[in-house]
């Protein structure tokens, strides 16, 4: 993201003032032209190297750039599934060049250090403390049981951008290979599939309206299902006793197709399940999903559901 500040006109971005006269100047041009492969600016290969050598979470770039090692492993084997085929090929070529050419790697590290130098104080005094605080906040919310999409709305944005990205992140989350990375120097979200981890980068202090809308969109379908008085009455009734469609129709004075339609809505919302019993289907509340709905609503109000 520091590269983008070099050419940014967004004066409210963190680090904008610290970048000073470098914006749009010599270093921006050097970074654009360093590789000469048609990929504009950036230094994605650096974070790929950091993950490959298990130094992705070092707190400052100095630790990495002062003695930048060669990429570990065969770059051609790196997954990089978050990249287009063309960009993946470019990254593999860059990484291979850095692996075989020590002088190229030293020049690359010197250029990035020169770009980083004016940002270092901003990072150490403001950025790093804020990111660490964001990490503690995210970890605490996850420990309380809040769903990942609520804690990190970028998860939803990634999934909507491309379905295969959503599957990639979900699998990494289940495997324990997902890193949630609050950012400081701009950017609302990013996704990287590295050799060892999948990383979601996100704004640690997002627009509250984005978080509110994301939560509302996730809760609204279930709340709409309960917005019909008859459907809610049916849910309350079967919460105390498993009941068949015929019995519900008789008790509520409704036609069976009408009852079936209400039950279909409740099943779609995951609040009711049908179970075969004695040659007929009886419906009962899906207690876990109903409890989850109440907990989600409690968290949405900013309350602790365990209190």
DSSP string, 19-43: HGGGTTSHHHHHHHHSS-SS--S--
Q: For strands 189-193 and 178-183, give the pairing.
A: unpaired
Number of CB atoms found within 10 A of residue 191's CB: 22
The pLDDT, as a whole number, for residue 216 is 79
The pLDDT, as a whole number, for residue 28 is 64
Distance CA 2, CA 114 (A): 12
Per the confidence metrics, is the pTM higher than 0.75?
Answer: no
The pLDDT, as a whole number, for residue 96 is 95
The pLDDT, as a whole number, for residue 38 is 62
Q: For strands 280-285 and 243-244, give the pairing.
A: antiparallel
The pLDDT, as a whole number, for residue 39 is 63
Q: Crossing angle for the helix pair 208-226 and 256-268, nearest 10 degrees?
A: 150
Measuring CA to CA, how many Å separate 268 from each of 10, 13, 56, 224, 273?
A: 45, 43, 42, 12, 9
The pLDDT, as a whole number, for residue 302 is 62
Q: What are the 10-residue block averages of pLDDT along the chain, 307 residues in total?
A: 42 48 59 72 83 89 89 92 90 94 93 86 88 89 85 84 89 93 79 93 68 74 90 93 93 94 91 86 87 77 61
Neighbour-count burial for 69-81, b at 16+ CB within 10 Å, e otherwise: eebeeebeebebe
């Amino acid at each position: 993201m520091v590269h983008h500040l070099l050419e940014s006109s967004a004066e409210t971005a963190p680090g904008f003032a610290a970048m000073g006269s470098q914006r749009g100047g010599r270093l921006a041009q050097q970074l654009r032209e360093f590789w000469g492969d048609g990929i504009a600016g950036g230094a994605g290969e650096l974070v790929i190297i950091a993950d490959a050598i298990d130094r992705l979470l070092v707190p400052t770039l100095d630790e990495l750039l002062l003695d930048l090692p060669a990429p570990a492993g065969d770059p051609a084997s790196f997954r990089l599934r978050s990249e287009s085929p063309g960009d993946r090929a470019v990254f593999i070529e860059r990484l291979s060049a850095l692996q075989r050419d020590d002088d190229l790697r030293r020049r690359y590290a010197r250029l990035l250090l020169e770009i980083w130098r004016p940002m270092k104080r901003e990072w150490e005094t403001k950025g790093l403390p804020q990111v660490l605080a964001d990490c503690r906040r995210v970890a605490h919310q996850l420990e309380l049981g809040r769903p990942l999409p609520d804690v990190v709305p970028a998860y939803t944005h990634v999934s909507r951008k491309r379905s295969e990205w959503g599957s990639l992140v979900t699998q990494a989350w289940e495997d324990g290979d997902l890193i949630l990375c609050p950012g400081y120097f701009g950017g609302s979200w990013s996704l990287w599939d590295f050799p060892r981890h999948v990383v979601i980068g996100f704004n640690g202090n997002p627009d509250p309206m984005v978080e509110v809308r994301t939560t509302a969109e996730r809760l609204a379908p279930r709340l709409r299902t309960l917005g019909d008085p008859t459907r809610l009455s049916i849910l309350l009734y079967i919460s105390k006793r498993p009941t068949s469609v015929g019995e519900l129709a008789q008790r509520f004075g409704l036609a069976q197709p009408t009852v079936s339609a209400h039950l279909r809505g409740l099943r779609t919302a995951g609040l009711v399940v049908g179970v075969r019993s004695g040659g007929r289907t009886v419906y009962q509340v899906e207690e876990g999903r109903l409890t989850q709905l109440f907990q989600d609503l409690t968290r949405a109000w900013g309350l602790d559901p365990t209190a």
